Each structure stands twice: as C-alpha cells, then as structure tokens.
C-alpha cells in the first residue's frame, strides 16, 4: 500500500493501471460475485449439464436395465444407428415437427387477434386479462383433462353442441381417431398457450407509440393497412420472442399427449418427447433413450437457431 | 474527526478516460472543503474515491493517519450525503437515520436516543414515523443530513446535496448545512458545481477543471487573486469581464493597455505590484475586470485611474444594485468550460453572454439603454493573465 | 387515466364488434371451466346417462367429498404445496444472489446469463432418464424432496432473469449509501436492495410457484407411491385407476377443480404482476 507513494508519479500511473482492474477490493467484489452466482449455476448444471453428459455417455453404451449382463459395456454407435433406422423415430419426428408447425402457426394468428383485443382500453380490461391468463396458469394436466371432458363422446360440450344443432359428428369418439385426436390435442394446447403468446405480443403492442397510428391515419391508411404496414413490422421483435418460446415448447410437447391419448390410438400421436419417455421409463433402455435425448437437444438448438435466424430483421 | 490527505490521486477508467489526474489536496481537521467545477471536471469522482465507492487508479488517500486505498467504504468511518439523498424508501425516517448505527451494532436504546437527538437538531421530530415518499424535498435533505451526523463520523462527504432543491430552499439549506457543520465540527468535503454555494459555504474552496486541480484557497483569496483565467472566470457572479488587450509600458514606470480602439492608462503602482508584467511589454495579455471595479463616471474626479467608453445594452435593476450590460466594442475573451457554468446559474442573460461586459452600479443609476457612458476602472484591482497558458501574471 | 383516452385503431367493426370479440374471448377462456364444474357436480348415475342440458340436473358435492375421503386427495395437495413453496423459496433466494451479482458485481454476466436462460429451455424429457438413474442410485426415487431441486430448471431461469432486471433498475445510490453507512455487500443486499425490490421478488415468487405447481413429467417419472404423488399426478392417476370401460369425469373433474382453484385465485389477485413478469421476462 505504501510502496506506491515512493515510486515516481509518472510511472506509477501506468504501472498500477490494468484494464481488468487489479486491486484487492475489485477482486474481492468479483470473487463475491462468483460466489453469489454459484448456487444458481451449480444447481442448473446439476439438472441440465449433468443429464446432458450422462445421456451422451449412455448413448454409447448398453444401458438397458432389463439386460444386466451387458450393462455399461461400450456399444459404439449402435444406439444411434438403431435410432436413425427406427421407423418409430422417423414417424414421431415427422409428427412432432408437423404438430409444431401447425400449432404455432394457428396459435400465432389467434394470439395476434387476442393481443389486439387486450390492448384496447376498455372497462374491465384487467379482469378480462386475468380471465385469459387463467388457462395459461393452470397445470397442463388440468387443461388436458378439461378438454378430454369437453371432447367426451357422451358428456362433452362439443358433443352437446353438435347434438343441439343437429350437426354431423355427434357422439364422435374424438380420441379414437388419429386426426380427430390431433384436433383435440391442438385445441387443448392452443387454449393453454395462446394467452402466453398474446401477453408477449401485448407488451410489443404497448411499445408502439400512438402517434405512429395517428400519422398513418392522416396519411390516409385504412385500418387494415395500418395493421399490415405498421403494427406487424413493429411487432416483429415480440413475435420472434413468442415464436421461439412456443416453437420449442410445441416441439417438446409431452404432458397433453400423455394424458389425452397416451400416444394412441396405436402410436399415431406419439411425439419425440413421448418416444423418449417410453424408451426411458417403459423400456428402461437408457442407452437408446440417451440417443433420443441427445437428438432432442440437438434438434431444439436447431429449431431455436432457425427461428431466430429466419425472423431476424433484414438489414 | 481527522484530516484528509489526497496524494497524487488519479482515476483512469478502463476505456482510457482520465477522470482525475494527479490530484493532491489536504483537508485540515474540522475544515469545510468545497470541491467546485463545471460538470465532468472530476470532482464527484474524487469524492467517490475518498468514500471508497470508486477504485483509485494511482496515488494515496489518507483519512486521519490511515491510508484507506484498500479499505471498504464501511471501514473508512465516513458518512455521505448523496445528490438524490439515497434514502431507504422502505424505512421510516427514524429507521433511516438509525440504520448506520444499527449496522455498527449500537444498542437499541442508544440508537433511539441518538436518532432522537439528531431529529431534534434538524427539526424532524414530527416526521420520524414517516416514510421518505411522504416527505418534501427539503425534509428528505434533512433526513439525509441526519443519517450522516448521527454516526459522528470522522469525515462528511457531500455530493451536490442541495442541487435538487428549489432556489429558495437551496439558499436556506446552504446556511443550515454550514451551521450544522460548524456545530458538529466534522471535517467535510463538499462537492458542488455552483460557485455561489462554494463561496458561501467553504472554509476553503478547491477549483477543478478537466480532472485537474486549478487552485485551492479561501473563497476571498480565490476571488481577489485567482491563479488562472479559469478560476477568475468561474468564481464570482456576475463573472469577471475578460478581454484580450495589448500591454504598453513606456520607458518610465507607468503604462497602458489597448482595448479595442481605447487606451486604458495604468498607474505605476499597478506595474510595480505585478513585476511579471514587464515580460509582456508590447505583447497581448488578457485583462480581467470585476463588475464592481467598474463604476459610473460622474464627471468629477478625473485624476485617478483609467476610463473606458461603452454603449449600454441592458440595465437590470436588482433593487440593491443595478447590473449594467455594456458593449466595449471588444469581444469578451472566452474561457473554455466556464460559460456553460455561468449560464447554468442564470446570472447573465444568455444573449448577452459573449458580446459585452457587466458592471455593478448603484441602485439609483440613471444610465439608459442605447446611450454611451463613461466607465471608471479601478485599475489597482485589475487582473492580468497570459493568453496562452491562462496563468495569472503577478511576479 | 390516459390509457382510457387512447384511441387505438381497431379494424373497423366498431364498438359492437369489439365487445363481441371480448365476449368470445371470455367465453373461450372461461366456459370450459364452467363445463368441468358442471360435470363435477353430477352424480355418477347422471353422468353415465349422458349430457342433455347445459345445466346440471341437481347439484351434488359427493364427488368433492369423495376426492378427499376415498381418493385421499388432501395428501397430494399437501405434497404439491410443499414442493412448490420450497422450490419458490429456493428460486427466489438463489435468483436474488445471482441476479444481484450480475446486476452489480463485476462478474461477466453475458455468458452466465446465457447459460441460465438456455438451461430454461432444456428438453425436460431428456433430463428424465439420467436423473432417474441418479436418483435411483442415491435412493431418491419416490421421494418428493429431489423434485424441489429438479423443478429449479423450470423456475430458476425466469426468477434470476427477473430479479437481475429489477436490481439493475434500483438506483446504485441506495446501495452506496448503505456501504458508506457501514454495510457489507451482502448486508446491503438483504437490508436495502431486496426490500426495495419487493415487487420484483413478488413477481418472481408468483411465477415460480405457478411453474412448480404445474409440473407433471418429473412427478410421473420419479414418484411411485400414491401417497407421494403431487396433485397433477394424483389426478391423472385417478383416471387411470378407474374401471376402464367408461372414465367417470365427474369424479376426476372435482379434483381438477380443486387444483385449479388456488391458481385461479392467484391469477385474479396478481394479474398485473404476472403480466409484467412475463413481459419483462420476454422483451428486454
């Protein structure tokens, strides 16, 4: 501490300055910072980083609990070759991507409309917002069972409605057919997730200043034109965020499938997450499941990458 | 209570910006030291280094007999009043004032007693149960003061504590803070950009510019005898009239300066008391004239001093005096960094700053706008500066 | 309120069209809840006969009493409450520490924050296998406590992100005042920063609670004994243990209503906070 006073002023100036700030107290601050970040980082590493590495290891080994003889032995890429040649994997991947594209497209359109409604100032808007948020906040188990009730062939509201208006399709066992099952899943998923998207888009709408609309009106823009030419482009950042969130969630869909159809009828509604669950906890094949998990992680990254890249504002 | 010593203290930010360079300053025990300067001059950074809120890049800071460079703020035995008061919004007035004591493990009943004392001293007795959000600006300021004095620290640091108050309250609190400091007698470093505040409050004033210390002295000495153009221009309101002029010294002791087309005679004693002027013979200098050293020529005494002719641009009657803005036909000499500070204080009508000059006349003056008048110059109190380096020309 | 004066362009259907849209929004959001309440108030005989009207024939609460007596639904509710509250507490605590460090202390917050947020998108079903093996090895299977740590993957990213943003908004003066007044960094955090950031802490807590309360996949994978089940798992189990011939939704829906109630109440009370939390979490 006192040595600095004896050095010639001009040199001291350079010697003691380092771009990262080297004094004891700065270092103490940084050390405290790492200490404070540690619990969060370590616990998240434990539940994500550890499974990732463990999956990677498992995917190159025989790890089937029903096959103790071969346990932990190296299996090369056999789990992966089995996976990529498995028609179940290919078809569940196709289904999952198909569901993701359809549901996200559908939900985005509905969510934009809902956000526009929620954005307008009216009496009781707070209550309406709360009402819209409840479907988002309830457990997926609730939304899935709720829509299972709604689609029940004898006691569901859908059945009741079709009966009252003498429409065809009354007493349909929705969850017995492939496409009717997907329709029910889509409705249940959208009902829970549209509010989330709408809230994000609402925040985006609130960032658009009113005077832009006023200027457009003076310039003679119609309501549709001002929506198309002003609202949508300015909403893009919020749309990107909402889309990335939703696309990943839809890609990883599991709860709704498990509860509403159990992957059925047959395996026609099995998604990748369901496939992975099945490998882990029904077949107890952690090597094969690990390979699925690794592809799930990689595909999630790819989707997030595509979404953010495709929607990046063109410069 | 202790003295404070800054020895060659510098602050360089990682991006290379030099906020303070080689600042050496000693504050005596119990002294009220004001750091003043235009915004960005490094005064706040200097204060924050003393507080320990900012790392010191080089140099040493001592409080009392301890070098505090590596001490955390809490171990420096200081109290600080912030520009925005930084009152804890979730605590009552009493809890705010008592917080430092609580942190230092003072027993509860003693905290209560000392908070009470401080509140009484500051006239806050009625407000102790309120939250900061329910207080007026002046009351918040007092609470911030209370939180500082209750600790009985060895050093007070104040960072523009009055700048968020309205003009009237600021004048009142100025006196109050100064009185409080005298009463508790704690060494104080006070930062402000307002030269009036600096002049009225400080035992001594340190003027800073662009990270450098310009001059430290008592307010009167700074005013009467500025070391540099910057200090001359910055201190005083209305500010010093500065003009570039040419100095002529005739063979014998007396001389004159040429100001625009006019000649201002300099008696011999002006030159003998400033021997340095001899070196500027026949060269340009900057001459500074305080507004009160310009008086109305009444036509009677013609013997002493010089006289200048000027056109009256504006007369501001302030009641106790009149400020006469005039045009000498010479542009005023611009000193970098001072003009904005002067305009901030609202002392000069902005459209007049830059063209003319200001004189302080008696309240009953009859000069009229648009007329030409004679100005008598108190030549004995003229200031001379080197136009190149801005240093005062004295010895 | 300036918001009421604001005139936003609504595609020209006028007032009536707008309120019609609001009505549709309300109906779609809330009517399904009415339908499960209605179903849950039917006797099994009525349910088996099929639905012929919008209103139930008569109201019976037997499904609710049965949920608690026969199905012992109180136990899973308690389990869920314990896990969700504990997860919330841990998330807010860890999130405050990490959020403060990234807002104020000189840690390189970029990479750390990116990691924390990316972790929030980690495929849940990809975690299930390895964690199953780990918990089996440690004897943690069929216990509710490991779920507390596991659920952090849902809650900690958003809690940390929210709290970091709230802390960054607090004027640094306040903390500096506390430091000068004699506080250490940690004391300044607990005594000054966190109390001032209470709205943010609240928001983080509410969102954490909702996210933890809603899990199904982890509970399904790790719990085996009905007395250890969380509420969502118990409800699903209720359906699967029934006679497979016809699922008695009147019974199940009583449980569904019970699980929904606390969440609905929370949303009604804290709508503003949830909206601000979700949007602050997404757009910044």
Q: Which residues of C touch B104 (CB under 8 A)?
A: 182
Q: A10: pLDDT confidence band, cut at 50, 70 and 90? A: very low
Would the pLDDT of B250 be above 80? no
B308-319 per-position pLDDT tens digit:
888 888 888 888
For residue B23, the chain A residue with the least C-alpha distance is A9
Which of C87, C126, C134 to substitute to test the interface with A, most A CBs within 10 Å?
A: C126
| Partner-chain residue, chosen from B14, B60, B72, that has the shortest CB–CB distance to A4 | B60
Spatial separation of the C-alpha atoms in residues B229 and A295, rounded to whole Å: 74
Pairs from A95-99 (Cβ < 8 Å, separation ≥ 24): A95/A268, A95/A269, A95/A270, A95/A271, A96/A251, A96/A253, A96/A271, A96/A272, A96/A273, A97/A251, A99/A182, A99/A185, A99/A186, A99/A250, A99/A253, A99/A271
Quick one: how far is CA A265 from the chain centroid?
25
Say whether B7 and A5 touch across the interface (CB within 8 A). Answer: yes
| CATH assignment at residue B312 | 2.40.50.140
- What is the pLDDT averaged over residues A297-303? 93
Would the pLDDT of B34 be above 70? yes
B320-368 per-position pLDDT tens digit:
888 898 888 887 787 776 654 444 544 545 445 556 788 998 888 888 8
Spatial separation of the C-alpha atoms in residues B44 and B36, rounded to whole Å: 9
Q: Do residues A118 and A202 make contact, with C-beta atoms less than 8 angstroms apart?
A: yes
The SS3 call for residue B317 is: strand
Would the pLDDT of C10 be above 60? no
Q: Of B170, B191, B225, which residue constitutes the final position of a domain? A: B225
For residue A119, the chain C residue with the least C-alpha distance is C8
Instruction: Looking at the complex, report in whole angstroms how far the Cα of residue A1 sits from the nearest Cα belonging to chain B.
Output: 7
Instruction: Looking at the complex, report in whole angstroms how far the Cα of residue B86 sits from the nearest Cα belonging to chain C.
Output: 5
| Partner-chain residue, chosen from A17, A25, A26, that has the shortest CB–CB distance to B58 | A17
Is the domain of B204 the same as that of B264? no
Return the higher-pLDDT residue of C57 and C212. C212
Return the higher-pLDDT residue of C9 and B57. B57
Q: A307: pLDDT confidence band, cut at 50, 70 and 90? A: confident
Is the domain of B198 the same as that of B341? no
The per-residue pLDDT for B355 is 63
Residue B231 lies in a domain: no
Q: Do residues B321 and B362 make contact, with C-beta atoms less than 8 angstroms apart?
A: yes
Which of B47, B91, B103 to substitute to test the interface with C, most C CBs within 10 Å?
A: B103
Q: Which residues of B touch C166 (CB under 8 A)?
A: none
Would the pLDDT of A2 be above 50? no
Determine what percent of chain B is predicted with pLDDT higher than 70.
92
Q: Report yes or no: B55 at the C interface, CB cutoff 8 Å.
A: no
A149 closest CA partner among A179, A170, A123, A175: A175
Is the domain of B55 the same as that of B168? yes
Q: Per the structure block, which two tokens stand in for A82?
A: 């089995």
Residue B271 lies in a domain: yes
B297 closest CA partner among B365, B238, B369, B352: B365
Q: Do residues C124 and A296 make contact, with C-beta atoms less than 8 angstroms apart?
A: no
Q: What is the mean pLDDT of chain B?
A: 86
Whether the ω angle into residue C238 lies within 30 degrees of 0, i.e. cis, is no
- What is the pLDDT averaged over residues B382-391? 90
The per-residue pLDDT for B338 is 64
Would the pLDDT of B191 be above 90? yes
Q: Do residues B36 and B193 make contact, with C-beta atoms less than 8 angstroms apart?
A: yes
For residue C187, the chain B residue with the least C-alpha distance is B103
Q: Of B201, B225, B249, which residue constitutes the final position of a domain? A: B225
Sheet holding B357-361, edge to edge: B294-296, B372-377, B306-317, B322-327, B357-361
Determine what percent of chain C is predicted with pLDDT higher than 70.
92
| CATH assignment at residue B74 | 3.40.50.300
Q: Which residues contact C18 (CB under 8 A, 6 or more apart)?
A: A117, A120, A122, C10
The per-residue pLDDT for A1 is 35
The dihedral through the CA atoms of A182, A188, A194, A196 has a sign that is negative
Full domain range(s) for residue B331: 241-385
Spatial separation of the C-alpha atoms in residues B7 and B12, rounded to whole Å: 16
Q: Of B225, B250, B270, which residue constitutes the final position of a domain? A: B225
Which C residues, 222 through 261, put their C-beta within 8 Å of a C-beta on chain A? 231-233, 235-236, 239, 247, 249, 252-253, 256, 259-260
Instruction: Looking at the complex, report in whole angstroms how far the Cα of residue A39 sits from the nearest Cα belonging to chain B.
Output: 25
Q: Report yes or no: A94 at the C interface, CB cutoff 8 Å.
A: no
Q: How far is CA C221 from CA A62, C130, C225, C232, C253, in A?
A: 21, 11, 12, 13, 23
Domains in chain A and their CATH numbers?
95-310 (1.10.3720.10)
Say whether B88 and C196 touch across the interface (CB within 8 A). Answer: yes
For residue C193, the chain B residue with the least C-alpha distance is B88
Would the pLDDT of A106 be above 90? yes
Q: What is the mean pLDDT of chain C?
A: 86
Which of A19, A39, A41, A44 to substitute to test the interface with C, most C CBs within 10 Å?
A: A44
Q: Which residues of A touch C124 (CB under 8 A)?
A: 252, 254, 273
- What is the pLDDT averaged over residues B120-146? 90
Q: Which residue has the tokens 């009741």?
A: A160
Is the domain of B82 the same as that of B188? yes
Residue B233 lies in a domain: no
Say whether C181 and B52 touch across the interface (CB within 8 A). Answer: no
Whether the ω angle into residue B307 lies within 30 degrees of 0, i.e. cis, is no
Interface predicted TM-score (ipTM): 0.87
Q: Which residues of B touch C198 (CB under 8 A)?
A: 90
Is the domain of B17 the same as that of B128? yes
- What is the pLDDT averaged over residues A229-241? 86
Q: Which residues contact B113 (CB under 8 A, 6 or more apart)?
A: none
Q: How far is CA C273 from CA B8, C2, C60, in A?
A: 51, 20, 36
Q: B295: pLDDT confidence band, cut at 50, 70 and 90? A: confident
Instruction: Looking at the complex, report in whole angstroms how far the Cα of residue A19 sits from the nearest Cα belonging to chain B.
Output: 5
> Which of A56-60, A84-88, B174-178, B254-258 bottoms out in mean pLDDT, i.e. has the lowest?
B254-258
Beta strands in chain B (DSSP E): 4-12, 18-27, 32-36, 58-63, 66-67, 78-81, 155-159, 188-192, 204-209, 212-217, 241-249, 255-259, 262-266, 284-289, 294-296, 306-317, 322-327, 357-361, 372-377, 383-385
Say whether A138 and C263 touch across the interface (CB within 8 A). Answer: yes
Q: Do residues B142 and B122 make contact, with C-beta atoms less than 8 angstroms apart?
A: yes
Q: Which residues pair with B258 in a beta bridge?
A: B246, B263
The per-residue pLDDT for B304 is 52
Say whether B86 and C182 touch across the interface (CB within 8 A). Answer: no
The per-residue pLDDT for C52 is 73
The dihedral through the CA atoms of B332, B338, B339, B344 has a sign that is negative
The SS3 call for residue C25 is: helix
A294 closest CA partner among A51, A101, A85, A76: A51
Start and end residues for every CATH 1.10.3720.10 domain found in chain C:
67-282
Q: Which residues of B touch C196 (CB under 8 A)?
A: 88-90
Classify residue A66 by burial, with Cβ atoms within 10 Å: 0-12, 13-18, 19+. exposed
Q: B1: pLDDT confidence band, cut at 50, 70 and 90? A: low
Q: Do residues A251 and A96 make contact, with C-beta atoms less than 8 angstroms apart?
A: yes
Return the higher-pLDDT residue of A129 and C86. C86
Say whether B74 and C184 touch across the interface (CB within 8 A). Answer: yes
Quick one: how far is CA C165 from the chain centroid?
21
Q: Which residues of A touch C56 (CB under 8 A)?
A: none
Is the domain of B352 the same as that of B265? yes
Q: Report yes or no: C61 at the A interface, CB cutoff 8 Å.
A: no
C55-82 per-position pLDDT tens digit:
877 788 888 888 888 778 899 999 999 9
Say whether A258 and C119 touch across the interface (CB within 8 A). Answer: no
The SS3 call for residue B209 is: strand
Which A residues, 138 through 157, put their C-beta within 8 Å of a C-beta on chain C? 138-142, 145-150, 152, 154-157
Q: Which residues of B touch C171 (CB under 8 A)?
A: 84, 86
Which of C45, C99, C125, C151 to substitute to test the interface with A, most A CBs within 10 Å?
A: C125
- What is the pLDDT averaged over residues B35-58? 91
Instruction: Looking at the complex, report in whole angstroms how far the Cα of residue A40 sits from the nearest Cα belonging to chain B.
Output: 27
- Number of structural domains found in chain B: 2
B150 phi, psi to nearest 5 deg: -65, -25
Q: Which residues pair with C46 in a beta bridge?
A: none
Is the domain of B192 the same as that of B323? no
Is the domain of B318 the same as that of B200? no
Q: Which residues pair with C199 in a beta bridge?
A: none
Q: B95: pLDDT confidence band, cut at 50, 70 and 90? A: very high
Q: A178: pLDDT confidence band, cut at 50, 70 and 90? A: confident
Is the domain of B161 the same as that of B269? no
CATH architecture for residues C67-282: Orthogonal Bundle (1.10)
């Amino acid at each position: 501490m006192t040595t600095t006073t004896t050095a010639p002023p001009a040199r001291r100036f350079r010697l003691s300055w380092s771009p990262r700030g080297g004094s004891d107290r700065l270092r103490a601050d940084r050390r405290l910072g790492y200490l404070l970040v540690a619990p969060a980082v370590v616990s998240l590493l434990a539940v994500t980083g550890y499974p990732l590495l463990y999956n990677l290891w498992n995917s190159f080994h025989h790890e089937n609990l029903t096959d103790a003889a071969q346990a932990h032995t190296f299996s090369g890429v056999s789990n992966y070759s089995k996976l990529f040649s498995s028609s179940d994997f290919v078809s569940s991947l196709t289904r999952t991507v198909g569901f993701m594209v359809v549901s996200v497209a559908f939900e985005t359109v509905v969510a934009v409309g809902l956000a526009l409604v929620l954005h307008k100032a009216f009496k009781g808007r707070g209550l309406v917002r709360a009402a819209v948020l409840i479907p988002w906040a309830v457990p997926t188990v609730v939304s899935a069972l709720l829509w299972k009730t709604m689609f029940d062939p004898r006691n569901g509201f859908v059945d009741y409605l079709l009966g009252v208006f003498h429409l065809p399709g009354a007493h349909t066992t929705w969850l017995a057919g492939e496409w009717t099952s997907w329709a029910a899943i889509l409705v249940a998923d959208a009902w829970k997730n549209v509010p989330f998207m709408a809230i994000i888009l609402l925040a985006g709408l609130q960032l658009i200043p009113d005077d832009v609309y006023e200027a457009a009106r003076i310039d003679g823009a119609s309501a549709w034109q001002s929506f198309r030419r002003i609202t949508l482009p300015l909403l893009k950042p919020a749309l990107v965020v909402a889309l990335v969130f939703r696309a990943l969630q839809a890609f990883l869909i599991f709860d709704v499938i498990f509860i509403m159809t159990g992957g059925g009828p047959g395996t026609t509604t099995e998604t990748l997450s369901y496939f992975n669950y099945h490998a882990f906890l029904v077949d107890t094949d952690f090597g094969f499941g690990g390979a699925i998990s690794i592809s799930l992680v990689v595909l999630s990254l790819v989707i997030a990458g595509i979404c953010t890249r495709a929607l990046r504002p063109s410069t | 209570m202790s003295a404070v010593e800054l020895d060659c203290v510098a602050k360089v930010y990682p991006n290379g910006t030099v906020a303070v360079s080689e600042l050496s300053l000693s504050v005596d025990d119990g002294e009220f030291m004001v750091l003043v300067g235009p915004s960005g001059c490094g005064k706040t950074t200097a204060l924050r280094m003393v507080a320990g809120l900012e790392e010191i890049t080089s140099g040493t800071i001592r409080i009392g007999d301890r070098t505090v460079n590596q001490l955390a703020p809490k171990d420096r035995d200081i109290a600080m009043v912030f520009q925005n008061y930084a009152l804890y919004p979730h605590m009552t007035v009493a809890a705010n004032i008592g917080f430092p004591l609580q942190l230092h493990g003072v027993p509860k009943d003693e905290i209560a007693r000392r908070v009470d004392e401080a509140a009484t001293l500051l006239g806050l007795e009625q407000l102790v149960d309120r939250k900061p959000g329910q207080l007026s600006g002046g009351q918040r300021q007092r609470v911030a003061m209370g939180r500082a004095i209750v600790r009985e620290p060895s050093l007070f640091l104040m960072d523009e504590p009055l700048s968020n108050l309205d003009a009237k309250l600021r004048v009142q609190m100025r006196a109050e803070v100064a009185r409080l400091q005298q009463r508790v007698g704690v060494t104080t470093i006070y930062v402000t950009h307002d030269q009036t505040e600096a002049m009225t409050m400080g035992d001594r004033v340190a003027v800073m510019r662009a990270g450098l210390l310009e001059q430290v002295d008592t307010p009167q000495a700074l005013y009467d005898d500025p070391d540099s153009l910057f200090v001359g221009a910055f201190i005083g309101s209305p500010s010093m009239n500065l003009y570039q002029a040419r100095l002529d010294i005739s063979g014998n002791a007396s001389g004159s300066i040429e100001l625009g087309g006019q000649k201002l005679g300099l008696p011999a004693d002006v030159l003998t008391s400033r021997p340095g002027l001899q070196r500027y013979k026949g060269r340009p200098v900057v001459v500074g004239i305080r507004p009160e050293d310009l008086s109305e020529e009444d036509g009677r005494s013609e013997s002493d001093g010089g006289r200048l002719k000027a056109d009256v641009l504006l007369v501001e009657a302030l009641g106790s005096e009149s400020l006469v803005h005039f045009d000498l036909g010479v542009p005023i000499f611009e000193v970098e960094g001072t003009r904005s500070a002067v305009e901030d204080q609202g002392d000069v009508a902005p459209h007049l700053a830059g063209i003319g000059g200001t004189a302080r006349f008696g309240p009953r003056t009859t000069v009229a706008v648009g007329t030409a008048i004679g100005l008598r110059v108190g030549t004995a109190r003229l200031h001379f500066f080197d136009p190149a380096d801005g240093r005062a020309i004295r010895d | 309120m300036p918001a009421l004066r604001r005139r936003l362009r609504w595609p020209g259907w006028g007032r009536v069209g707008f309120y019609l849209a609001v009505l549709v929004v309300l109906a779609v959001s809330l009517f399904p809840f009415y339908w499960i309440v209605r179903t849950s108030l039917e006797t099994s005989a009525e349910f088996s006969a099929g639905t012929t009207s919008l209103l139930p024939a008569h109201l019976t609460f037997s499904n609710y009493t049965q949920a608690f007596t026969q199905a012992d639904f109180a136990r899973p509710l308690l389990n869920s409450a314990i896990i969700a509250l504990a997860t919330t507490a841990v998330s807010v605590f860890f999130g405050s520490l990490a959020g403060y460090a990234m807002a104020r202390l000189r840690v390189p917050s970029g990479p750390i924050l990116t990691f924390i947020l990316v972790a929030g998108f980690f495929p849940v079903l990809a975690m299930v296998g390895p964690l199953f093996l780990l918990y089996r090895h440690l004897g943690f299977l069929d216990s509710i406590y490991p779920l507390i740590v596991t659920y952090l993957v849902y809650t900690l990213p958003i809690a940390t992100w929210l709290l970091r943003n709230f802390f960054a908004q607090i004027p640094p003066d306040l903390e500096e005042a506390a430091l000068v007044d004699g506080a250490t960094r940690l004391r300044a955090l607990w005594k000054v920063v966190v109390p001032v950031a209470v709205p943010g802490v609240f928001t983080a807590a509410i969102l954490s609670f909702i996210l933890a309360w809603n899990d199904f996949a982890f509970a399904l994978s790790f719990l085996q004994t009905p007395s250890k089940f969380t509420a969502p798992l118990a409800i699903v189990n209720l359906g699967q243990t029934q006679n497979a011939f016809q699922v008695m939704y009147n019974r199940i829906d009583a449980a569904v209503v019970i699980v929904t109630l606390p969440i609905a109440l929370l949303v009604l009370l804290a709508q503003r906070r949830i909206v601000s939390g979700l949007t602050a979490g997404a757009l910044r």
